């Protein structure tokens, strides 16, 4: 299981939003690259980066910051505003290892199928769910699609990695929705990265246990719990490495 420490960027700064709400913002650092360097020092090899400005506006706004993070030698999984092929190519070109497609995946299977064919495992699809329904455009709009149905369609067209976020738990430090994550793992064969709700080391332990039952649990994204010093990155990595 891979640990993905999260870096959310808004206005060039490292922030966290509660349940994706732009009006519920906490600023943790003015220099996201410094934050990434600390994660690398703790032993992380991946970081999950979200360009929140891109997610809300539909176009990447913080690629310079992403380039600085990638230059540290970390593998960057980047989401936010990846709604056309040019945006994906630009992100990969500045050093992102994997690009996350969110809103467009809910709108066009053909678009995702093309990207999956061309870029293979450098493409992931982010599925964000509110009460089981897919939410898009920075979680502002909820669709009539269920998360599981969308995931199965993405799996069928060749997507190798899904990132499943339960919005109800994201940023709340209440623990992950393990039942929802397990349902997703059962529904697809491709890799799944769990996101949302990790609040303490025991949550990492429980997800690791879940990963022993489902080999397609690729990893877990941890955000606010790290910044609030409830989870130590090095300790989480140790748990994941132990299998």
Distances (CA, A) of 37 to 17, 34, 40, 46, 198: 22, 5, 5, 11, 22
Token pair recorded at residue 231? 């989870």
Given the residues 8, 155, 203, 218, select the one marked as catalytic: 8
CB 198 within 8 A of CB 220: yes
Given the residues 23, 30, 53, 128, select the one marked as catalytic: 128
**What's the CA gap between 206 and 191, in Å, rounded?**
18
Catalytic site includes residue 128: yes
Token pair recorded at residue 217? 């649990």
Catalytic site includes residue 166: no
CB 128 within 8 A of CB 101: no
Show which residues are catalytic. 8, 128
């Amino acid at each position: 299981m891979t640990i993905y420490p999260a870096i959310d960027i808004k206005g060039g700064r490292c922030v966290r939003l509660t349940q994706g709400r732009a009006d519920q913002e906490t600023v943790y650092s003015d220099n996201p690259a410094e934050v990434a360097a600390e994660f690398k020092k703790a032993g992380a090899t991946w970081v999950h980066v979200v360009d929140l400005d891109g997610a809300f506006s539909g176009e990447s706004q913080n690629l310079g910051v992403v380039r600085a993070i990638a230059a540290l030698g970390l593998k960057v999984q980047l989401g936010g505003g990846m709604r056309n092929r040019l945006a994906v190519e630009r992100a990969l070109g500045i050093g992102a290892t994997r690009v996350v497609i969110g809103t467009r995946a809910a709108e066009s299977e053909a678009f995702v199928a093309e990207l999956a064919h061309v870029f293979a495992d450098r493409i992931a699809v982010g599925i964000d769910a509110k009460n089981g329904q897919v939410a898009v455009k920075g979680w502002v709009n909820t669709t009539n699609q269920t998360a599981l149905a969308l995931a199965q369609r993405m799996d069928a067209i060749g997507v190798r990695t899904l990132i499943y976020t339960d919005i109800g738990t994201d940023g709340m430090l209440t623990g992950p929705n393990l039942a929802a994550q397990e349902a997703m793992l059962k529904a697809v064969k491709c890799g799944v990265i769990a996101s949302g709700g990790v609040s303490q080391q025991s949550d990492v332990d429980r997800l690791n246990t879940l990963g022993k039952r489902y080999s397609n649990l690729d990893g877990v994204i941890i955000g606010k719990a790290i910044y609030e010093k409830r989870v130590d990155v090095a300790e989480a990595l140790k748990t994941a490495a132990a299998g």
